[in-house]
Amino acid sequence: MELAYYSDYAVRLVNTEEPLRAKDSLTSVEAVRDLFGNNQEAARRTTDADVTRFRSVRGRLRAVFEAADGGDETLSVNLLNSLLLEFPVSPQISGHNHRDEDGRPLWHMHLADHPSNATAGYAAIAAMGLAFHLTEYGVDRLGLCEAAPCRNAYLDTSTNRSRRYCSDRCATRANVAAYRARKRLEADRSESTGRAADSAQRTAAKGER
């Protein structure tokens, strides 16, 4: 498992809430367990108390993205560092049961957590994954979708740092909205120009009389 994979833990958790739409899908133990994906061993540790704890961590992770999106790199790093200190992990080399064509283990770095509860384990992995992404690609690669009212978090891995939306759906929606806005502006300008021309004609006619 590549270390970059762990950064998705942070994105998945942050995006369980859409503040501007007053939507929150993190309302049950089942919803929390779904966030773990294939890591069902960790998911089984989840209890009712983790729902509230996950929401608290979610707010802190969103704050990291908000600071980065607002251009405050130092604040973003400081907020993430506080999570790393509170939820530590132990890097380990792992091969699991995966092997290459020659039967040799596919060694890779794995983040082993030693949590007191499911939230601590998830938060440790999410924070460390986000830290790897931030230091590898830059703070400005942590973004919030510009297609209001979405504001979902995303990780920009584009070659030219051009990503602005969390998904193709939001990008399309924003482009359509921008196109319609341009058309309305053009129509307003045309109408304004027409009224000005009519007024000028009426003024000229009065002058001729």
Please count the other Cβ atoms lying within 10 Å of the Cβ belonging to residue 204.
9
Buried b (16+ CB within 10 A) or exposed e, 158-193: eeeeebebbeeebbeebeeeeeeeeeeeeeeeeeee
Provide the pLDDT for residue 38: 82
Provide the pLDDT for residue 28: 97
Provide the pLDDT for residue 22: 93
Provide the pLDDT for residue 57: 98
Provide the pLDDT for residue 1: 44
Residue with the two structure tokens 């950064």 = 7
Mean pLDDT for each 10-residue chunk of the chain (209 residues)?
A: 77 96 96 91 91 98 97 97 92 74 79 77 93 92 93 92 91 78 70 62 62
Provide the pLDDT for residue 165: 94
Provide the pLDDT for residue 91: 77
pTM, entire model: 0.78
